[in-house]
Amino acid sequence: MKIAVFIANGSEEIETITPIDILRRANIIVDVVSVTEKTVKCSHGVEIIADKVINEINFADYDGVVIPGGMPGATNISNSKMAIDFIKHLLENNKMVSAICASPAVVLATHNLTNGKNLTCFPAQDFINTIKNSGATYTAKSVEIDGNIITANGPKSAFEFSMQICAYLGLTPKI
């Protein structure tokens, strides 16, 4: 089992680090993949060194992706053609796509990848409108699972989000 966790300048720290930690505790191979340069400065100034840059990965090697929120991190991921192509590849192959905070709206809904799905996101009206305008349903839950898409509403849900990803994958982290 191998999961990519996307990062970009402005990604939210808790939403990035918590899934990395929890998934690795479930013995999942996690690659921290930057959509830009190897070292990323997160939304609260924490620097993270990625394992890989997106142009170094083979899409077929992965079973899913975690997309943290944070601004402008979500926008930076959304603006990466390779990141969107990777997400489309996962969806076309019925693999897991998970996004938290701004990313369900800014990354997934903006690119019309969620039509007919139930999603949650950070409860900002712009994000909610983006989800609704994409043909998805906003549920306001802390974590929402609809098929192979898992979404969460923000930093306060990062742990539950990470645990639900593990449960979806049939694994239990050692915590």
What amino acid positions are annotated as catalytic residues?
101
What CATH number is given to the structural domain containing 47? 3.40.50.880
Range of the domain at 60: 2-100+149-168
Question: How far is C-alpha 165 from the geometric centre of its chain's CA atoms?
Answer: 11
Strands 29-34, 2-7: parallel, antiparallel or unpaired by DSSP? parallel
- Predicted pLDDT at 127: 98
- Give DSSP secondary structure letters for 2-15: EEEEEE-TT--HHH
143 strand-pairing partners:
152
What is the mean pLDDT, run by run of 10 residues, along the chain of 175 residues?
A: 98 98 98 97 96 96 98 98 98 98 98 96 98 97 98 98 97 93
- Answer whether residue 58 is part of any domain: yes
- Predicted pLDDT at 104: 98
- Answer whether residue 45 is part of any domain: yes
- Predicted pLDDT at 1: 95
- Answer whether residue 120 is part of any domain: no
Report if pTM > 0.75.
yes
Count CB atoms within 10 A of the CB of residue 132.
14
The Cα 31–Cα 23 span in angstroms is 11
Six token digits for residue 18:
């918590």
Which helix or strand (DSSP H or E) is residue 29 part of? strand 29-34
- Answer whether residue 72 is part of any domain: yes
- Predicted pLDDT at 172: 94
